[in-house]
Every structure is written in C-alpha cells, then in structure tokens.
Structure 1
Amino acid sequence: MKIKINLLIALLFTFQMVVSQEIPFFESYDWEVSPNYTVDNEIEEDMIAVKEKTVTEFYFQDEDLVEFYLEHKVLWLNSDDAIEEYNKIYLPFSSDAELRVNKARVITPGGKIINLDKSKILTAEDEETGNTYKYFALEGISKGSFIEYMYVVKRPPNYTGKKFYIQDGYYKDKVEFDLYSPSNLLFKFKSYNNIQNVERDTLSTVKLHYKLHAAKVQKLENEYQAPYNASRGFIVYKMDKNVDNMDEDIISYSSIAQNVYASYYPEYSEKTKGLLNDFIKELALPKNADQESIIRKLDFYIKSTVYSQDVYNEDLQDLDLILTTQLANESGVIKLYIAVLRTLNIAHELVITTDRTEMKFDPEFEATNFLTDFLLYFPTSKRYLSPNASGTRYGFPMPYVTDNYGLFLKEGVVGDQKSVTGRIKYIEPVKVDEVLDVMKVTIDFNKENLTENTVHLDRTFSGYYAMNIQPFMHLIQGEDARNDLVDSFVESMTYEFEAQNRELINDDAELFGVKPLQIKVDFTTEAFVEKAGRKYLFKLGDLIGQQIELYQEKERVLPLEGQFHRGYKRTLTLHIPEGYKITNLDDINIDNSYVKDGKEIFFFKSSYQLEGNTLTVTANEYYKENIIEVAMYEDYRTVINSAADFNKIVLLLTAE
C-alpha cells in the first residue's frame, strides 16, 4: 500500500496576488475547426498519438491559487483492439475538481467529423469505492479514424511534486508539455530516462512559462519483470521558490521532516500514556525479552488485531480511539507503532521512500512524489518493518521498497528538547542467506515394480519464501487443512501420489524470521519413472518442480528487477536399484554463473557423486542482486534457463 503525503506540508511562504495577470491559457486555446491530420502510411501500428498536449497552469483566482489542467489528444486508431480500448475516454473528475471544458470528436478516414453529443459525456460510480467518474462514450469509430478530445479541469493545486510521463507504449508524433505560473512562483524540473530537459520561455514576461516540446517520441514496450513505469521517459516538477523569499525552498526534505515529525511524534497526554501501557500489557511480553523479540511480537500483534482501512478519516488516526477500538487507517497504524516503540524506548527511524518499480527514489531532487511508502528502521539490528503491509513481518519489508534510497527521520533528544534530523540513505535489501528454499529428497525404487518410487521430501522455507505461509499458520486450522498445505508442495513435483507421514515443523506463526518453516512428507508415486523396453527412464528434473524459462525473440531493452535476493539449495539422493546403472550421469553437470567485481552474483550449479548404488545430486541456485541491467541480462537468462534445463533431465537406467 502507498501513502501519499498531502497535508503534512506546511507552506513556508504566503502567496501574493499578482497585480497584472493574463487570462488563463485555456480560455484562448482551442482545437482546429477543420483539422487535417495525417499519419505515415508505412507505419504498421495499432495506434499513434498524432498530438498530445498537456498544459497545467497555476493561477490566482479570487486570491486563491488554483490549477487549470488541460489535456488535448489526437489519436489514430488502426485496429479493433485499439478502438475497443479508446472508445471510452475517462476524465480526471473528483469531488474537489470542476470540469471547465470537455469535448470530443471522431474524424473518419474519409474526413467526416462526428462531434460528441453532450449526452454522451456520462457519469458512473465505482461500486467498490463509491467514487464517481466521468467519461466520453465515443461512437462512429472505424479502423483508420482519428479520435480527438480535450478537457480542462480546475482543481486544488498540486505543486509539491508531480510526475508526468512523456513516453508510453505507443508512438507519438508530437508531445507538448507546458506549465504556466504567476511571475513570483518559480518551478523546478528534472527529466528522466533520456528525456530532454524542460526549458523556460524567456519571451513570456507577465507570467512564467516552462515547456518541453518533443517530436517523434518512440514507444516503449513492456518486458518480463521490467520496472516499466520507472523506465519510461518522464519528468518530475515542483514549485521551488517564491521570488519574495529566495532564501527558502518551498519544498524541501528538511521542512517535510519537521512536519512529519510533528504529526507522528507528538507529546502524549496522560490518558494516552495509560492506554499505551494497557496495550503493551496485552502483548504479554516475556521478562527480559530482547529487542528483536519485542519488535516481532509487536508487529505480529498489531497486524493480527488492528483493522486498518485505506481511507482518510481523522478518527482513524486518533491514537486514543485506535487504542480503544483497534480501528485505524494507514497513518493511524504508523502512529500506533511509533507510540509503542517510544514508550518501550526502542530506537528506530521512520523511513519514507517509493516503490522502485514505479519510480526510483532520487536523492538529488526533493519532491513529495518520491515519498509514498513508509518503513520503520531499527539501527540496532539494521532491519526494517513495513507497518502498512499486513502480509509482511519484521525483518522482511515489502521487497520493492528496498534496494532503493529513502528519507530516514531520526528523533533526537537534548535535555528537554526533542527534534528530528532527516538524511537520505540506501535501503539495503535482505541478503540471500536469509531467503532460502532448501530441499532434501530421498528416492527409493520398489524392487517388485521399478516404475514405483517411495519418496521422502524434507523442505524448509525461510524469509520471503515462508512469509506467505508461516505468519498465518494460526489461521490454518484442522488436520485436513494442514495436510492439504503439505500436499501442495508435493504437487509442485507431481499430482500423482499417495502421501503418508506428513509433518509440519516450526508452524507457530510467531516463529517467522526466527526458525524456518519445515515440511516433511513420505509419498509413493509412479510419476517419475517410465519403462522403455528393458530400460527405465527416471525424471530426475521433475523433483525440483517446473521452472521458469526465459525466451528472448527480441533484443532486451529494459532492465529486469527481481523482488528480492534468493537462493535454492537442493540435495537429491537416489538409491539405484540392484543390478542397474545410470548411463548418462554427465547430463547432470551444469555450471553457469555471472561474476561481477570478482564475486558470483548469480549462478546455477549442479553436480553428482556416486558411491556404490547411492547417487547424490546437488543443484544450487543463487541470485544476489535484484537489479539486472541490460548488459547483464543474457548471463542472467542463461542462469535462469539452467534451472529449466535441469528440470528436463531424464536419467537412463539400464541393466548391468
């Protein structure tokens, strides 16, 4: 879940009315009465943006600063799929916004103009959220038509940090972004992923004008596990200075830190302190519990007992009410964690960052759109906690907010004075040795029927591999439900089996992060062996389950990002039946890796040892880096595909 910082920003200036203002830009702008749009006939695309113009203007109206947001698009649709996708155009309508202009039209391949009737501007309601939205319902579209629409929204100004995409999954002939502001309010911009810089129009004098006009913007297609939104070309902008107070940055992390601190680290009343002490008693902490045990208990208890809603409601962030009702919103949950940690004198820091697949945190450009996700950091253990992600636990935060920069807020106390310091640091990911899937398998053959095996599976999961199961074991009640869980791991090998002697170890929900979840099961199956005349085919690779295989028909364009570091350790022990031998043992040997700065970053290595009739196969696979740059991709693909290659290994048993 993400948290947008909106109301935590205290303005460091007072807006001043500009004596001489031009009319808003949108009042003098319109589309062409008789358009003559064309596209290159040689381009074979489902859709092309002939024009995309966006204008956002900050404007004083009755001494209030408002924002007029204009969007004007002309899209050429050249397939049934594109027509189906764009026959409805949704408008950014909200309760605090006002639609000032809204119109659309279709221009057929023959040049006929079909203007949208006002009755086709519809309003609907989202049944889940209750939010209303408006959309254009376009008719008369055929392949090769142009659709054109334009709207203007008046809304509260958004100037603390805004992301605007220049690049999409389709070609664009022309992209124009313009921002206007009163002459005393300066804006700052930064371009990402090879997008040209925004320039200031020096000819504009009455009001400031910033612009980025680009021609022929190439489309960017998504790829497997690519951080697509973070990789697209975009700009970020914010209001930077008031010319009447040039010494102060309007948006700075130092000011944000102060306001976040004021909200989340207040002085508590005696009533609140009493409620906090009662809450801590409910934790039933053992005497002399170490800090990590306390944090784990707190994390488990809050996520198990406090119901969190993703809505803005003052009551749901009132600490007294939260402690009484155990109902909260995301801000309220964070306040609860912090209040308990402060009461217990547990050192921690509040961290604000962003999902790296959506947008990498930029340590050099201070804007609130880099501040969307909260973490708690514990410097003693150097571990993190995601307070608003109910499916996570201490030490294993939401993985996509790690391996990224963040703003760390640390409370300091000097005498009776309390304050906060903010600094940007890197959020290290959880190391591979804590995220392991360890498999030990022993296989015996039925002497009377060599197509049947008795298999003993011993498998342990730690870190993120256990996180979807172990913390919720208290919810899996009854022998049948627990047997089904154990059987699900056998089913990753085969659906044809009969299980006996199932066992779950470390199945206490509060043992997550302390001891790995372990399953043991014995089963019989005829799924791994096929008879071929006097020979037998043993499907060794099926023991590790089906593996991902990466195909690459085109050259990789985007980096690939994994969620977390991960490792697989597999030991497969096969008791070869008397009188038989395996003739293709060398097929087991696979060794592929990628070395960076003298260290193996990822690898797949399988090998064997044969002692008498006992064949021991090891197949280990490690990934010690999440972000796979394009230059590394082919090596990474080779390693990934090595596991798929192992999965295809079939051993040939022949009579001696």
Structure 2
Amino acid sequence: MLLGMSSGFAQAFAHTEYDWAEKPAITKTDRDSSEALEVVLKEKMIVEFYYDPGFNNALLEYFTWHKKIKVNSSNAIQRNNKVYISMNRAIELIDAKARVIKPNGEVTEFKKENIKDVSDLEAQGAYKFFAIEGAELGSEIEFLYTTKRIPSYSGRRISFQKDVPVEAAGFELYAPKNLRFGFKSYNGLTEVLPDTTDKKRMVYKMADTRIEAMDEEKYAPYQRSLMRLEFKLDENVSTSSNAVTSYAKAAQSIYQNLHPKLSKSDLKRVKKLSKELKLNGSEEEKVRKIESYIKRNIAVYESLGEDYLEIPRILDDKITNQNGLMTLFMAMFKEHNIKYKVVLTCDRNEALFDKDFESYANLQEYFFYFPDMDKFLALGEEL
C-alpha cells in the first residue's frame, strides 16, 4: 500500500454526502414502451481513495455503487431479483439499502438488516445480497451501497454499456492531493475530466452519459466492443514517484511472485509426478502431457490463499490459484529442461492489449512461450 502524509483536517467523503431521492417517484423516459423491457435509469459509481488513520495512514478505498432499473417484463424482474455486493477486498460494508418503487407509487424498502450472505458465489469469493421482493411490471428496483476495502489502483476496468439501454451512467473518483490518476475511455464512452473546484482533493468525473443497448451477436467480440473505462494511479507527487503503474514495474513484481524457492518436498513431488506421467519423447510431447494432466486434474480458484502455492498440497487437493498453477507448470518444465518464457496479456474477448495505456488490467492472462518450438501454451484455455 502507498503511505502518505496524514491530513491535519477532517476528511470529507463523497459517499457520506451522496444519497438517493428521499421521496422517489416513477421515472418517465422516452423508452417507456414494450420494446424497452428493461432500462437502467441511473448507474453511478464513486471511488474514493484516502489515508486511514485507523490503519496507520495506509491508503484505503471507499466504493459506492448506485443503480436504478426499470423492469417492464417478467424476465427483467427475474434478472434483477437479487442485488449482489462483492466482498472481494472488502474490510467492511459501510451501508447498503435497496427498494422497489411500484407504478402506483408504493415503496418497499430493504435495509442493511435484510442482507444475506453467500460464502463463495460461483468461485468468486464472498458476497452479500438483498433478495428483492414485490416488484411488478413497470416497477423500479433501486440499490445503493458503500464498502470500505483494500484499494485497487494499478488498473481497473469498468464496462458501462449493456444489453439494455442506460439513461444516465456516471463516474467519480476522489483521491488525496498527492495522487494523480490516469484515465482512458474506449468505444466512444465520455471522457473522465479533472474537477479543479475542489482544493483539498484530486477529483475526476465522467458526466452523466446516455448509452444505447448493445445486443450480443454470434462470433462478435461482445465484451471488448462495449463502452468502458479504465483507470490507474500514475503518480505520487509526495514521493516523486512517476509511472507508478507501468509494464516494467509489473514485470519485476510478477517475476518475483512466480519464482518462489521450491522446498525439498516440492521437488520430490515434481519428480514423482514426472515418473507417473512417463514423460518421454520430444519436448513438444512432454509439454502436451504436462498440460493435459494439469488442466484435467487441477481446478483453479482465485479465492484460495498462499498455502495453495505448495506443490504437494496442489497435487493432493487438486485445487490451487493462478500463481500455484504457474508454479506447478514451471517446476515441471524445469525438471525436464524445457526452455520457456512467461507472457502476460489480456483476454482478447474482453479487450485488446493497449501498449500505450499501461494498466495491469491488460496483464491478466498467462501464456508460456517455448522458443525451441516457437509455440504458445495458454493457461486459461481448455484442452
């Protein structure tokens, strides 16, 4: 985490000043027709970085998400009958509320006490959720929540376009005065601009933007075609740190993480596995056998901790995280003197690698390149 100077004044937070309408009313739009079976009336995300005195002035983050959806079909009601709150990186759920506004003006509210927990939603970690009840055709489902969490500032990607129209999509980022952020909008999304009226913080805003729906087409790169925003920390002026987020710095950190010193028990299990697989033949045949065994037998869950980096545990439990998977592959390659290079890029279905905007969001997919064979092995692709 970045450490910085603690401020001498009480910090003001955008999320404490932001709220939904006290007396809600049904929203009228030109999309109120049978063709608009679901409309996102409002979507606002607020990201606030700050130095927390309760955590030794470490940099933390408040994340606020406000969304209001009009449901004009049974399918739309079904799609929005739960509001999920990711607890990934979360330290605390600060506040959460939801409500249903019926066409006749009747309002049903769901408060923090109504939240339920799910320990591991589709292998994506812990979530909390509201079960939304009482919505009918023409209702509006609205939620607003704020979490306090470990910060993520090395490259974030947010898609604002969906398969339904969005009336108003907005974004705001607040940070201490010493931190400078970089932003890039893709596929025609409104640019994020600095707001210089606030003298105590760095403030960046994307004005409310009306976005048309984009239907998914067969064989078309849907996710990467959506209007999206990416942002990252560029500079810490208090430490004269430029290019805080860069591919060069990422390469150094990733190399260290991917090359842990293997223990005797690690090496022993690698040799045992090699004998079991009977790795004879050409280099390519060995690589294919290693790939086949690992991909068919080892499941990957990113929510697993560092204890799943140990090769004996990986092979015994048949599960690990991405770093553990890489460790196992590389240990097997080294055991058989197979030359390789690690390649990092992004999922081409989500985005094209951007060499000019150096965001760690572009460094999510691992490949191995084998120079003697001039071939690649993709970890994320099934056999």
C-alpha contact 1:162 1:237 (8 A) present in aligned 2: yes
| Cα drift, residue 69 of structure 1 | 1.0
CA deviation after TM superposition for structure 1 residue 205, in Å: 1.5
Identify the residue that residue 122 of structure 1 maps to in structure 2. Answer: 116
Number of the residue aligned with 2:258: 264
**2:129 aligned with 1:135:** yes
Residue 107 (1) aligns with residue 101 (2): yes
Partner residue, 1:586? none
Contact 1:24-1:59 at 8 Å conserved across structures: no
Q: Contact 2:367/2:379 (CA < 8 Å) preserved in 1?
A: yes
CA distance in 2, matches of 1:116, 1:283: 56
State the partner residue of 2:245: 251
- Structure-1 residue corresponding to 2:229: 235
2:39 partner amino acid: I
Deviation at 1:56, TM superposition (A): 1.0
* Structure 2 CA distance for aligned equivalents of residues 379 and 317 of structure 1: 27
Give the 3-state SS of the residue equivalent to 2:256 in structure 1.
helix
Alignment counterpart, residue 40 of structure 1, candidates 26, 29, 52: 29
2:298 & 2:276 partners in 1: Cα distance?
Answer: 16
Distance in 2 (alpha carbons) for counterparts of 1:168 and 1:254:
34
Q: TM-score, normalised by structure 1?
A: 0.52
Secondary structure at the aligned position of 1:52 is classed as: strand
**Residues 1:252 and 1:21: Cα distance change in structure 2 (over 3 Å):** farther
2:366 matched to 1:377? no
Following superposition, the deviation at residue 68 of structure 1 comes to: 0.9
Matches within 5 A, 1:309-348: 309-310=300-301, 311-319=303-311, 325=316, 327=318, 329=320, 330-348=322-340
Partner of 1:79: 73
Counterpart of 2:28, as a letter, is V
Q: CA deviation at 1:388?
A: 5.6
In structure 2, C-alpha distance between the alignment counterparts of 1:34 and 1:103, rounded to whole Å: 15
Code of the residue aligned with 1:33 in structure 2: it is E
- Alignment of structure 1 residues 420-569 onto 2, 5 Å: none
Cα gap change, 1:112 to 1:231, in 2 (>3 Å): same
Q: Report the residue type matching 2:103 in the other structure.
A: P
What's the CA shift for 1:152? 1.0
Structure 1: how far apart are the matches of 2:39 and 2:277? 59
Give the secondary-structure state (helix, strand or coil) at the position aligned to 2:330.
helix
Contact 1:39 1:50 in 2 (8 A): no
Matching residue's letter, 2:141: I
Compared with structure 1, are the counterparts of its residues 79 and 285 closer, same or farther at alpha carbon in structure 2 (3 Å cutoff)?
A: closer
AA matched with 1:224: K
Provide the secondary structure at the position in 2 that maps to 1:40.
Answer: coil
Which secondary structure does the structure 2 equivalent of 1:202 belong to? coil
Output the CA distance in 2 between the equivalents of 1:236 and 1:262: 26
Whether 2:7 is the aligned partner of 1:18: answer yes
User: 2:169·2:211 contact (CA, 8 Å) conserved in 1?
Assistant: yes
Whether the aligned pair in 1 keeps the contact of 2:40 and 2:164 (CA below 8 Å) is yes
The equivalent residue for 1:362 is 354
| C-alpha contact 1:334 1:388 (8 A) present in aligned 2 | no
Counterpart residue type for residue 375 of structure 2: R
SS in 1 for 2:333: helix
State the shift of 1:374 in Å. 1.3
Distance 1:296 1:117 in 2: 53
Assess, with a 3 A threshold, how the Cα gap between structure 1 residues 214 and 29 changes in structure 2: closer, same or farther.
closer
Deviation at 1:264, TM superposition (A): 2.1
What is the CA deviation profile of residues 92-142 of structure 1, one whole-angstrom value per residue up to 9, with x for unaligned ones? 245844221212223332333333356543345568759653322334433
Which whole-Å CA distance do the structure 2 matches of 1:295 and 1:374 have between them?
16
- Aligned residue type for 1:49: V
CA 1:380–1:203 in structure 2 vs 1: closer, same or farther (change >3 Å)? same
1:49 to 24, 40, 44: 40
| Cα pair 2:181 2:233 within 8 Å, conserved | yes
Query: Bigger relative contact order, structure 1 or 2, given CA contacts below 8 A and separation 6+?
Result: 2
**For 1:58, which of 46, 49, 60 is the aligned residue?**
49
Find the aligned partners of 1:58 and 1:293 in 2 and give their Cα distance: 50
Change (3 A) 1:90 1:293: closer
Q: 1:128 to 1:255 in 2, by over 3 A?
A: closer
Shift of residue 39, structure 1, vs aligned partner: 1.9
In structure 2, what is the Cα distance between the partners aligned to 1:264 and 1:42?
51
Partners in 2 of 1:99 and 1:270 — Cα distance?
Answer: 43
Q: In structure 1, what residue type is equivalent to 2:210?
A: K
Aligned residues between the structures: 376
Query: What secondary structure does 1:258 align onto?
Result: helix
- Given residue 184 of structure 1, which amino acid in structure 2 is its aligned partner? N
Q: Structure 1 residues 179-188 or 314-323, which shifts more?
A: 314-323
**Where does the alignment leave 5 or more consecutive residues of structure 1 unmatched?**
1-10, 393-656
Of residues 173, 182, 187, the one that matches 1:193 is 187
Q: Is the 8 A contact 2:96 2:112 kept in 1?
A: no
Q: C-alpha distance in 2, partners of 1:127/1:33?
A: 32
Give 1:210 deviation, angstroms: 0.5
Counterparts in 2 of 1:138 and 1:315: CA distance versus 1, 3 Å = closer
**Alpha-carbon distance, 1:247 to partner:** 4.4
* Residue matched to 1:422: none
Contact residue 79 and residue 143 of structure 1 kept, 8 A: yes
Percent identity over the alignment? 31
CA-to-partner distance for each residue in 1:313-350, whole Å, 9 max, x for gaps? 33321246557x58552322321222232344332111
- Please tell me whether residue 350 in structure 1 is matched to residue 339 in structure 2: no
Cα contact 1:22–1:206 (8 A) shared by 2: no
In the aligned structure 2, how far is the partner of 1:74 from the partner of 1:127?
23
Asked whether the equivalents of residues 90 and 136 of structure 1 are also in contact (C-alpha less than 8 Å), the reply is yes
The partner residue of 1:214 within 191, 208, 215 is: 208
Structure 1 residues 234 and 292, CA gap change in structure 2 (3 angstroms):
same
| Alignment partners' CA distance in 1, 2:193 and 2:102 | 36
The alpha-carbon distance between structure 1 residues 255 and 75, as it changes in their structure 2 partners (threshold 3 A), is: same
Please give the alpha-carbon distance, in whole angstroms, between the structure 2 residues aligned to 1:42 and 1:273.
63
In structure 2, the CA distance between the partners of 1:358 and 1:184, relative to structure 1 (3 Å rule), is same
Match of 2:153 in 1: 159
Residues 279 and 360 of structure 1: is their aligned pair in 2 closer, same or farther, counting only changes over 3 Å? same
SS in 2 for 1:141: coil
Partner Cα separation in structure 1 for residue 238 and residue 182 of structure 2 = 17
TM-score when scaled to structure 2? 0.86
Letter in 2 for 1:226: A
Q: Which moved more, 1:43-52 or 1:187-196?
A: 43-52
Residue 179 of structure 1 is matched in structure 2 by 173
Give how far 1:237 is off.
Answer: 0.8
2: CA distance, partners of 1:186 / 1:19: 20
